[in-house]
Copies of this chain bind each other. A is one copy, B any other.
Amino acid sequence: MSTGKPIIVLVKPQLGQNIGKAARAMLNFGLTEMRIVDPRDGWPNPSAGPTAAGADQVLEEAQVFKTTAEAVADCSHIYATTVRKRGMTKDVLTPSQAAEDMASASGKCAILFGPERSGLEVVDVELARKIITVPINPEFGSLNLAQAVILVAYELSKMDHSGTVQPTIEKKKREPAPQIELDRFFEHLERALEGSGYFYPPDRAAATKVTLRNMVTKPAWTNEEVQTWRGIISALEKPYMKK
């Protein structure tokens, strides 16, 4: 099944568990097309299933190839992930730059990930047009396979708003209360505090009210929240209500 989305190519992966984890990481961000080059323990590998944690479809549809060249034969844009500098003249992109690059690419894109211990060999990197390097702590550069896959998949999903749920801040967030509600809130607070003798000494009252008003306008409360605060003040002011 081709989705038009980039293809994740695991080159000579060692552990089935890691293949499963990579499948899970892919599906987390809507990638479904996995290709596997010369897996050490053969394919299918029973230890991949459990770690895929439900991403079985990715494993079931994974295609296996003898060589990297065959695996990417139908791809127009090949990216190699590597942490090591190899003195190559290819462009080195961050995952985020690579995702942008792929978003504007026409033709199939493939991203190569090397074996767990050693990473991609020079011959595999040679196939690639560009290099993807995750900017990582130089003193602790051990990034496991599934983690490398998830970072790349995550960046790709940012470019593609169709497949993932973007937290819809605008839609979900309730609007801050209009100013008039804050004014009413403030008048209410002021009245209650006057009853309680809060504004003392009197010549400080004006400055104190400015402070309070700043505090009240700061939080961007919703209408409901303003009403809740008013309920609080009403409950507390009861003894001061005269007449």
Q: Which residues of A contact B (CB under 8 A)?
A: 24-25, 27-30, 53-55, 85, 89, 91-94, 96, 131, 133-138, 140-144, 146-147, 150-151, 154, 157-158, 161, 163-167, 169, 172-174, 189, 192-193, 196-198, 211-212, 215, 218-222, 224-225, 228-229, 231-233, 235-240
A135 CB → nearest B CB, Å: 5
Could you jot down 13 A-B contacts, CB within 8 Å? A27-B137, A28-B143, A29-B137, A54-B140, A94-B166, A96-B158, A133-B167, A135-B157, A135-B158, A136-B157, A136-B165, A196-B235, A196-B236
Which residue in chain B gives the minimum CB-CB distance to A164? B135
Residues of chain B within 8 A (CB-CB) of A222 are 89
Report, nearest first, the 3 A-B pairs whose CB atoms are least far apart.
A219-B219, A236-B236, A239-B239
**Docked-complex contact A94 and B197, CB < 8 angstroms:** no
**Docked-complex contact B140 and A198, CB < 8 angstroms:** no
Give Cα A233–Cα B96 distance, bound, in whole angstroms.
Answer: 38
Give Cα A59–Cα B135 distance, bound, in whole angstroms.
Answer: 23
Given A136-B28, A137-B28, A236:B193 Cβ within 8 A: yes
Residues of chain B within 8 A (CB-CB) of A146 are 147
Count chain B CB atoms within 10 A of each CB in A27, A28, A131, A238 and give the residue with the most. Answer: A28
User: Which residue in B28, B232, B238 is a CB contact (below 8 Å) of A141?
Assistant: B28
